[in-house]
Amino acid sequence: MQKLIFLKYGELSTKKDNRNYFLKILHNNIQNMLHNINIYYDYGRMFIEVNDNNYDEVINKLQKVFGIHEIVVAYKSLDKDLLSIEKNILSLIKDKEFHTFKVEVKRSDKSYPIDGMELRKEIGSYILENKDNLKVSVNDPECTINVEIRLKEILIYFETIKASGGYPVSSLGKGLLMLSGGIDSPVSGYLAMKRGIKLEAIYFESPPHTSENALNKVKELAKILAVYNNDLKLHIINFTEIQEEIYKNIPHEYLITIMRRMMYRISAIIASNNNMKVLINGESIGQVASQTLTSMNAINEVVKIPVIRPLCCFDKLEIIALAKKINTYETSILPYEDCCTIFVPEHPVINPLKEKCFEYEQKIPYEDMIYRAIKNRKTILIKSNDQEFKDLL
Ligand code: ATP
Ligand code: MG
Whether residue 169 lies inside any domain: the answer is no
Rounded Cα distance, 160 and 175, in Å: 32
CATH number at residue 113: 3.30.2130.30
For residue 387, the model assigns a pLDDT of 46
For residue 340, the model assigns a pLDDT of 63
Looking at the structure, tell me whether residues 142 and 207 fall in a common domain: no
Residue 237 in contact with ligand 1 by CB distance below 6 A: no
Burial of 217 (0-12, 13-18, 19+ CB in 10 A): buried
Last residue of a domain, one of 131, 162, 193: 162
Last residue of a domain, one of 100, 131, 162: 162
Looking at the structure, tell me whether residues 272 and 375 fall in a common domain: yes
Q: Hey, whose CA ends up nearest to atom 22 of ligand 1?
A: 180
Residue 204 in contact with ligand 1 by CB distance below 6 A: yes
Nearest ligand to the CA of 260 is 1
Looking at the structure, tell me whether residues 269 and 352 fall in a common domain: yes
Q: Measure 298 CA to ligand 2 centroid, in angstroms.
A: 19
Domain that holds residue 315: 174-391
Q: Hey, whose CA ends up nearest to atom 9 of ligand 1?
A: 283
- Spans of the chain, pLDDT less than 50: 386-387, 393
For residue 97, the model assigns a pLDDT of 93
Whether residue 184 lies inside any domain: the answer is yes
Residue 283 in contact with ligand 1 by CB distance below 6 A: yes
Looking at the structure, tell me whether residues 189 and 125 fall in a common domain: no
Rounded Cα distance, 365 and 5, in Å: 59
Chain center to CA of 35: 20
Nearest ligand to the CA of 234 is 1
Looking at the structure, tell me whether residues 134 and 183 fall in a common domain: no
Last residue of a domain, one of 127, 162, 197: 162
Nearest ligand to the CA of 182 is 1
For residue 273, the model assigns a pLDDT of 97
Looking at the structure, tell me whether residues 105 and 240 fall in a common domain: no
Ligand 1 atom showing the smallest separation from residue 290 Cα: 11
Looking at the structure, tell me whether residues 183 and 157 fall in a common domain: no
Residue 206 in contact with ligand 1 by CB distance below 6 A: no
Whether residue 167 lies inside any domain: the answer is no
Residue 257 in contact with ligand 1 by CB distance below 6 A: no
The structural domain count of the chain equals: 2
pLDDT, tens digit, for every residue of 227-268? 999 999 999 999 999 999 999 999 999 999 999 999 999 999
Whether residue 292 lies inside any domain: the answer is yes
Ligand 1 atom showing the smallest separation from residue 184 Cα: 3
Looking at the structure, tell me whether residues 249 and 313 fall in a common domain: yes
Q: Where are the alpha helices (DSSP H) in 106-229?
A: 116-130, 184-194, 212-229
> 145 and 102 in contact (C-beta within 8 Å)?
yes
CATH number at residue 318: 3.40.50.620
